[in-house]
Amino acid sequence: MAEAQLKFLLQRWESLLVQKADLFAGVGDQLGRIRRTLQEMGGLLAERSSSESDDGFCSWVSEIRDSLLNMDDLVDEFIIQQNDSMGGNMLTSESFKLELHKAEADLEEIVSRKPELIHEKGGQTSSASTTTSVDEFRSKYSNLPYYLQSLLLYCCIFPENHWIAKGKLIRLLVAEGLVQEEAAGRLPEEIADENINELITRGMIYKKNDHPGHGTFIAVCSPYYTILRQTFVSAHAATDSAIPSRARRVCTPDMTQIAEKLKNTRPRTLLSLGNQDGLEGNWLSFQGAKFLRILDLEAARIKTIPEELGDLIHLTYLGLKHNDIVDLPVTISNLRALQTLDIRWCGSLTSLSGEILNLIRLRHLKMFKNMKMPEGISKLTNLLTLTGIHGGGDIPVELGKLRQLRSLGVMDVTEDTADELFASITRLQNLLSLSLEAKWSAGKEKLTLLDTFSPPHLLRKLRLEGRLEKIPSWFHSLNNLTMLRLGFSHLEEDPALALQQLPNLQNLTLWHAYDGKQLGKEFCKAGGFPKLEILSIASHVLEEWTEVEEGALPSLQYLHFHNCSRLRMLPEGLQFVTTLKQLDLLPLNDDHVQRLKPDGGEENYKIEHIPTIRFLPVSALKFSPPN
C-alpha cells in the first residue's frame, strides 16, 4: 500500500503544479527533489512488497506514511490560506518554503535508514505446509498492482458487508485521485471501471444485483476486509465513538454533532450512511473541514447547506442525493475543483442559479426532477454526465456543444423543441447513455421521436419514457445497444418485432410499453434476442404469453413480470430456455399459483428447471381490516 500512496501522491502533486503553477512558482525546485525521492522510494517499496510482514520494514513504511501525510497537510494548508485572505496564522510563501524544506529533510533522513532488502525467493520463502489461509489472502493482496491494492483498500472505508453502487464508486475513485495515470484517449472513469472488474474476476470483491438491471453493487470479500480494515487511516464513527486524530477518511451513520467529533482532525473524506433526523445548522463548523475533498451525504436528510460550503476549495465530490434541501448556497461557485455534484431527489430543489457555471472542472452533474438550468450550460465543457435536466429554453441547442458527454438525461421533451434537441444529440458522438422523458401531466404525454434522427453510433443504453405511436425506423441501427427501457409507451404493435434482431441487447424493460393482451411466438423467433440476459415486463392488460419457439432467447437468465396481475399463462417452450436463473411473478394470479405448484401443478414443467422463483399471490396484496 505504501507504493500506491507514493504513486497517487505524485500524481496529485503533478496535477496541482499544472493547475496552480503561479502558486508554487517559488518552490518548484524543492517539489522536484521531493518527487524524485518519492519515485526512488516507490521502486524500493515495489521491490520489497513481498516482505511486508517484517517488523522492521513495517515500522519504516509507517514512518514514510506519516511523513507523506504531514507533507500533504502542509501543501493543502498553504493552498487554503493563500485562498483565504481572512486566515488567522497566514502561512506565507517564505514560511511555506521553510516548512517544506524541513519536511524534505525529514523524508531524506527516513529514506537513509532503509532496512536491508530481503528477497523472499527460493529457500527464503515460507514452507507451503505452514502457510495459513490468512497468509494466502495477504500474499494475493501483496502481489496485486499498486492501483488494485489501493482500490481494494479504499472499499474498506465502508462498513463490512456494505454494498456500494459501482457507478458511485467509480466517481469516488476518480475524485479521490486513486486511478492510475490515464492512457492517451482514455478516461479515468473507464480505467476505474476496468480495475473494479479485475478485482471481481479475481474474487476479491463481490458483485450483486438485487434486481438485475437496476445497477451493479459491490462489496469487499470478508477475508480481505478482515486483513485490510486496520491498514487504512480511517474511521467508522458511531454515535459514541471517538475519531482518531489521524483519520483521513471518516464514514459515519450519524451526522449529529459531527463537527464536535471532528474538531481535532483534518479528514479528506466524510461519508454519511444516511438516516438522520433532519440535520440543520452549520455541521461544517470544524477547522479541518477545509481539507475535505470528498463530502458524501446521501440520504442524510439534511435540510440546509451552510454557506461555509464555499470554503471547501479542495472539494472534488459533493453527494447530496436523497436530502431535504430546497436550494444551494451561492458560495458553491467557489468549488472550482469540483468534479461530481449529485443532487438527485433533493426535496424542493428544482432549479440551479448561475453560480453553477463557475464549476468549470465538473465532470458529473447528476440531477432528477426536471431541473432547470441557467443559460450558458455549454460552458461546462468537461461534463461527462448530465441527467435530469429540463429540456426547455435554450438547453436543446446548448447541449450540442457539450461534445464530451457520455451520459445525457433530458426531461420535458416536447414537439416544440424536438428539432433542436435531436440535432444536438446527433453531434454528441461520444454518447453512451441517453434518457428522454415526455412532459408529465395527468399521465405521460406523447414522446416525440424524429424518424430522421441519427443516433450516436456508440450508444449502449437508451431509456424512453412517454407515449409512442410506433418504434422509430432508426432502432435497427442501434448495433451497440446493450440496455433498453420503454416506459409507458402504450404501443399498439408488439415492439419485440423490431427489437429482437438487435445483436448486443442484454437488458430489455417493457414497462407498460405494449397494450396487447397476448404475446405469441412472434414475440421472439428462434435465434431472436441473441444476447438478451434480462427481460422485464410490466402490463396491466397482458393475459397470456402463448409460446416461445425452441432456440429463442438463447442467453436469457432473468425473467421478471411486474404488475401483470391478469397474466394467467406462461409460454409453452419456456422449459427449453435452460439458461434461466431467476423468474419473478410479482404479483401472480391466485389460480396461476395452483397451476405452477411443484406437486401436481399442470404448468410446473415449464419452470421446474429454474433455480430461483419468486412470486407474490394477488390475494396477499388485498387489504385485510383488523378484527
- The tens digit of pLDDT for each residue in 272-293 reads 887 666 667 788 888 899 999 9
Q: Does domain 468-627 have CATH number 3.80.10?
A: yes
Radius of gyration of the CA atoms of the chain, in A: 28
pLDDT mean values, one per 10 residues, the chain (627 residues)? 71 74 75 76 63 66 80 86 59 78 85 63 38 78 90 90 94 94 83 96 87 81 83 52 81 82 90 74 86 93 90 96 91 96 91 95 92 93 96 94 97 92 96 93 76 94 94 94 95 93 96 95 91 95 93 95 92 95 92 89 94 90 53
Is the peptide bond preceding residue 267 cis, with omega within 30 degrees of 0? no
* Cβ-contact 293, 176 below 8 angstroms: yes
In the chain, what are the domain boundaries? 1-120, 368-461, 468-627
Q: With beta carbons less than 8 A apart as the criterion, state whether 276 and 256 touch.
A: yes
Q: Residue 128's pLDDT is what?
A: 39
CA torsion angle for 268, 273, 275, 279 (degrees, to 10)?
0
pLDDT single digits (tens) 410-460: 999 989 999 999 999 999 999 999 999 998 754 568 999 999 999 999 999
With contact defined as beta carbons under 8 Å apart, do 535 and 558 qualify? yes
Q: Quick one: how far is CA 248 from the chain centroid?
A: 21
- H-type helices in 300-349, by residue range? none
Distance between CA atoms of residues 590 and 586, nearest Å: 12
Query: Which residue shows C-alpha cell 420535458?
Result: 412
Please report the beta strands in 262-348, taking only residues with DSSP state E, as ranges in sequence order.
269-272, 294-296, 317-319, 340-342
Q: What is the pLDDT of residue 577?
A: 95
pTM equals: 0.89
Query: Which triple of cell numbers denotes residue 488?
Result: 409507458
Strands (E), 116-228: 164-165, 205-208, 217-220
Return left, alpha or beta for 347; rule: phi > 0 is left, psi -120 to 50 is alpha, else beta.
left
CA dihedral sign, ordered 467, 473, 474, 479:
positive
Burial of 583 (0-12, 13-18, 19+ CB in 10 A): buried
How many of the other CB atoms lie within 10 Å of CB of 238? 12
397 grid coordinates: 441547442
Cα dihedral 294→296→302→305 (10° resolution): 30
340 contacts 318 by C-beta, under 8 angstroms:
yes
Report phi then psi at 294, rounded to 5.
-125, 125
Which grid coordinates are listed for 73? Answer: 497537510
- Output the nine-digit C-alpha cell for 500: 429482437
Helix axis angle for 28-47 and 55-83, nearest 10°, is: 150
What is the SS3 assignment for 60? helix
Residue 152, all three cell numbers: 481494494
Burial of 163 (0-12, 13-18, 19+ CB in 10 A): middle
- Give every CB contact of residue 92 below 8 A, 6+ residues apart in sequence: none
Largest alpha-carbon pair distance within the chain?
Answer: 87
Q: CA 375 to CA 385: how far, in whole Å? A: 18
The residue among 558, 548, 557, 507 whose CA lies nearest residue 527 is 548
Distance of CA 328 to the CA centre of its chain: 22
